[in-house]
A and B are shown apart, each in its own frame.
Chain A
Amino acid sequence: MLKLENVSFTVDVDGSDLGIIDNITLEIPDNAFTVITGPNGGGKSTLARLIMGIEKPTSGKIYYNDIDITDMSVTERAKLGIGYAFQQPPRFKGLTVRRLLSLAAGSELPVDECCGYLTSVGLCSKDYLNREMDNSLSGGEAKRIEIATLMARKLGVAIFDEPEAGIDLWSFSMLVESFKAMSSGSHNSVIVISHQERIMQLADVMIVIADGKIRSIGSKDEIFPQLMGEFNENCGFRGKEGK
């Protein structure tokens, strides 16, 4: 169980504090597929980075399985079983995809296991195993390999930051299937930041974050209709539908 208690995060902009996360208290249950959504710039990625330890909260506490991890480093949190797939994965000159997956898994992975992970993100493994994770990969390819690095680990909490970004339509269906399998499989708890309806459809818990606050939280059946209604109200054209 992941627990955030009164977590705030501010950054210094030209000498004055800009609030990114504003006093969030939240419990993310085990054995659940949690989808975080909300408008751009609302604080979703920052929340994920606070959980991974890449950013430290300005105030508040973060607990994982009742351990206070607020002051723990990224490395320590990783060892406890927290993982994070970057929205924009970094590139590494000279590091092959196979080596990266092995580093993620913590031991040299056999070829067939690597192939399995790559296939589940829609990449033909024989073309990619010995490719370098450098700038020769397209954004979508790098993104899928990034997702595969989390599949290669057994995690307590796996966080994916907009996994659908840059992924083509053909691979997207494959990805949805993989997330579906993940929700009942290898990781204890999966958190996905997403704007995609098909990913939201997999959610056990949905959280809407806007302006650094939780706007709403609940089951997919509770939250999803609200979101759809909101879009209708905000959109002049849709609002006139049926007239």
Chain B
Amino acid sequence: MDKIDSGLLESVADLHEIPAGAYNIRKNGEGFSRRSTANIEIVAKTDKPGIDIIVAPGTKNESVHIPVIITESGIDDLVYNDFYIGDDADVLIVAGCGIHNSGDEKSQHDGIHSFHIGKNARIKYVEKHYGEGDGKGERILNPVTVVEQDENSVCEMEMVQIKGVDSTVRDTKAHLAAGAKLIVTERLLTHGKQYARSDMDVYLDGEDASAQIISRSVAKDNSKQIFHPNAIGNARCRAHVQCDSIIMDDATVSSIPAITANSADAQIVHEAAIGRINNDQLIKLMTFGMNEEEAEEVIISGFLK
């Protein structure tokens, strides 16, 4: 692993060295290194690129890291990762993709992730996207996430894209059985001419399923963002969708939260707000001795934390 590799790994997975527990590192469209553990098995797919991650029922307090790094220009990587989480398991999954593109061709990674989460199982999924490199080549990430939650399972997803990705189209779909709980937190910062779009459909199919979708974003310069989360209640359930954006410079933000109830017992709420940084906030921080740029930075990093 060279310096660029470890820098990218640190940015997307907080990894300073080879992680403890199960992991799979993918580099430039190929498996780079992999380790299974007694309870978590990682197997390469034979019919298409990608891996199956199989977590044994009852596995507790273990983690899986599956970072992807791209360091060459002109890579177009498509990968299918399927997670099978056994009943009663409780695991942390750290994914993420870092692209270092110093060439003039585009580098693209499209990760298709599907999760099958067993009864009473619990996962926390953290996914970070990061791009760097001084080439003219675009850095593109188009993740697709499909979640199937069995009864009383809990899925907590944190998706973060703070820097350097030119174009992202994110597509997320989730189905929740009775008593299942989904919490999605999306944090996004775009700048320059970046484009980010996120479509999300959450189906609350079983009694007492619940979902919380929170999206916080900052759009700078000439960047463009579109959010379109939709919570669909098909039974007695609760859902809350919240989109909150700070807009700056000449950016464009479009927030289109949607809620659909197919049951009279569905309780679904959405909120959406877009606004610039309030002048009083800036002045307050300036009275602590910060200049305007520093104050702006504090406000944005707090908002996206």
* Residues of A in contact with B (beta carbons under 8 Å apart): 52, 54, 73-75, 78-79, 82-84, 86, 88-95, 99, 103-104, 106, 149, 153
Q: Does B289 lie within 8 Å of A89, measured CB to CB? A: no
| With known contacts A75-B290, A92-B299, A95-B298, A86–B280 Cβ distance under 8 A | yes
**Which of B216, B286, B287 counts the most A-chain CB atoms under 10 A from its CB?**
B287
- Contact between B302 and A94 (Cβ–Cβ < 8 Å)? yes
Known pairs A75-B291, A92-B302, A106-B289; list 6 more (Cβ under 8 Å): A78-B287, A78-B288, A83-B287, A90-B281, A99-B302, A103-B298
Please tell me which one of the listed residues A90, A93, A106 contacts residue B288 in the complex, with CB atoms under 8 A apart.
A106
Give Cα A74–Cα B305 distance, bound, in whole angstroms: 27
Q: Tell me the complex Cα distance, A75–B295, Å.
A: 10
User: CB-nearest residue of chain A relative to B244?
Assistant: A93
Q: How far is the CB of B203 from chain A (nearest CB, A)?
A: 29
Bound Cα distance A94, B298 (Å) = 10
- Closest A residue by C-beta to B278: A90
> Max chain B CB contacts within 10 Å: which of A78, A86, A149, A153?
A78
**A54→B302 CA distance, assembly (Å):** 24
Residues of A within 8 Å of B286, CB to CB, are 73-75, 78
A52 and B302 in contact, given A86-B280, A90-B280, A93-B244 (Cβ under 8 angstroms): no
Which residues on the B side are within 8 Å of A93 (C-beta)? 216, 244, 302-303
Q: Select from chain A the residue with minimum beta-carbon distance to B187.
A: A94
Closest to B299 in A: A92
> Is A74 touching B244 in the complex (CB atoms < 8 A)?
no
Contacts of A73 in B (CB 8 A): 286, 291
Shortest beta-carbon contacts, A-B, top 8: A94-B302, A95-B302, A90-B280, A78-B289, A74-B286, A90-B281, A94-B303, A79-B289
B4 within 8 A of A: no
A84 to B284, CA, bound (A): 8
Q: Tell me whether A94 and B288 are in contact in the complex, defined as CB-CB below 8 angstroms, given that A54-B283, A86-B280, A103-B298 are known contacts.
A: no
Interface residues, chain B, with chain A CB atoms under 8 Å away: 216, 244, 278, 280-281, 283-292, 298-299, 302-305
Which chain A residues lie closer than 8 Å to B280 at the CB level? 86, 88, 90
Given the complex, which residues of A lie within 8 Å of B302, measured CB to CB? Answer: 92-95, 99
B185 to A: closest C-beta gap in Å: 12
- Which chain A positions have C-beta within 8 A of B284? 86, 89-90
**Inter-chain contacts of B244 with A (CB < 8 A):** 93
Q: What is the CB-to-nearest-CB distance from B188 to chain A, in angstroms, rounded to a whole number? A: 14
Q: Which residues on B sit within 8 Å (CB–CB) of A92?
A: 281, 299, 302-303
Q: How far is the CA of A160 from the CA of B281 in the complex (A)?
A: 17
Nearest opposing residue in chain A for B291, CB measure: A75
Neighbouring A residues of B283 by C-beta, 8 Å:
54, 74, 90
Rounded to whole angstroms, the CA-CA distance of A153 and B299 in the bound complex is: 20
**Distance (Å) between the CB of A25 and the closest chain B CB?**
25
Subset of 22 A-B contacts with CB under 8 Å? A54-B283, A74-B286, A75-B286, A78-B288, A78-B290, A84-B287, A88-B280, A90-B278, A90-B280, A90-B283, A90-B284, A92-B281, A92-B299, A93-B216, A93-B244, A93-B303, A94-B305, A103-B285, A103-B290, A103-B298, A104-B288, A106-B289
Cα A54 to Cα B280 with chains together (Å): 10
Q: Which residue in chain A gives the minimum CB-CB distance to B281?
A: A90
Docked complex Cα distance between A17 and B64 (Å)? 67
Please give the distance in Å from B160's CB to the nearest CB on chain A.
14
> How many Å from the CB of B44 to the closest CB on chain A?
40
Q: Which residues of A contact B303 (CB under 8 A)?
A: 92-94
Complex CA gap A173/B304 in Å reads 38
List chain B residues, Cβ under 8 A from A82.
Answer: 287
**In the complex, residue of chain A having the shortest beta-carbon distance to the beta carbon of B286:** A74
**In the bound complex, how far is the Cα of B289 from the Cα of A106, in angstroms?**
8
Taken together as a complex, chains A and B put the C-alpha atoms of A83 and B288 apart, in Å, by 7
The answer to whether B278 and A75 have CB atoms under 8 Å apart is: no
Counting chain A CB atoms within 10 Å of each CB, the highest count among B278, B283, B289 belongs to B289
Taking the closest CB of chain A, its distance from the CB of B246, in whole angstroms, is 9
CB contacts (< 8 Å) of A54 on chain B: these are 283
Neighbouring A residues of B298 by C-beta, 8 Å: 95, 103
Contact A94 B287 (CB under 8 A): no
Measured in the bound complex, the distance between the Cα atoms of B304 and A17 in whole Å is: 42
| In the bound complex, CA of A114 to CA of B123 (Å) | 35
Q: Which residues of B contact A99 (CB under 8 A)?
A: 302
- In the bound complex, residues from chain B placing their C-beta under 8 Å from that of A78 are 286-290
Residues of B within 8 A of A83 (CB): 287
With CB as the reference atom, state the residue of chain B lying closest to A105: B288
Q: In the bound complex, what is the Cα–Cα distance between A79 and B286 (angstroms)? A: 9
- Measured CA separation A84–B298 after assembly (Å): 19
What distance in Å separates the Cβ of B99 from its nearest Cβ neighbour in chain A? 27
Instruction: Report Cα–Cα, A52/B244, bound state, in Å.
Output: 31
State in angstroms the CA–CA spacing of A91 and B244 once bound together: 15
- In the complex, the answer to whether A75 meets B289 with C-beta atoms within 8 Å is yes
Contact yes or no, B281 A52, CB < 8 A: no
CB distance from A20 to the nearest CB of B (A): 18
A54 closest partner in B (C-beta):
B283
